[in-house]
Structure 1
């Protein structure tokens, strides 16, 4: 069975803990950075958006390795039409390796972005529980 890597924001490993089916290989979580993207809060939402940036910005997150296609399909469904899965290059901060990973990029109305960074701790305290579970 083929597996892929997925880059996600700090919150997404919380989501991965909710997968209720086994994988052939253990899922590995490593800190990683994605260059030329920015994370933003969304107006009237508890979840974040990740968008390309022309500035030399970067976003720290997690690269999740050994994700099965079944898990990717489930995550695609969870993310919905507001996001598009794209292949990006991330830098694994644990190994120093640059690798391709799938990442969910915001493709909905850019007017919904707050322009302020999204806060994981606030999300865990005040965010919609449905946004934290697959």
Structure 2
């Protein structure tokens, strides 16, 4: 965390900079990062994933730097009831530990998670357009 804002680790639809900017209301600098100790899974009937603790896994994602409080408030609203914002330690490309917020799938919704890893490349190819139409309809990307 810096004086100007908090970092946020994303691992699904928000890895797309245009979607993140639409949700946050601003462009934010990002770097690739990994979160050890978690796994990412498809959510039944959705284009987006959920992430849960898993000591034997690591999730690849994007680390957005220095988000102001109003951007985090918009993310909280966007993520909704299925997720809780938590502080975690991610590793950047140089394997440096960085504190960041992320959104973890709440245990009470665990029955919605499917086995296997959520496929970001497939999301970009097949799911992004559907996702944007369904969840970003209130904003123009």
TM-score normalized by structure 1? 0.84
* Change in 2 beyond 3 A, CA 1:128/1:28: closer
TM-score normalized by structure 2? 0.80
Give the 4+ runs in structure 1 shifted more than 4 A.
none
Aligned residue for 2:92? 92
* Change in 2 beyond 3 A, CA 1:119/1:132: farther
Unpaired runs of 5+ residues, structure 2, are none
Aligned residue for 2:43? 42
Aligned residue for 1:128? 131
Aligned residue for 1:63? 63
Cα RMSD over matched residues?
A: 2.1
Aligned residue for 1:32? 33
Tell me which moved more, 33-42 or 105-114: 105-114
Unpaired runs of 5+ residues, structure 1, are none
Aligned residue for 2:21? 17
Distance in 2 separating the partners of 1:131 and 1:41: 16
Distance in 1 separating the partners of 2:26 and 2:14: 17
Shift of 1:52: 0.4
Whether 2:104 is the aligned partner of 1:105: answer yes
Tell me which moved more, 27-36 or 117-126: 117-126
Distance in 1 separating the partners of 2:71 and 2:47: 23
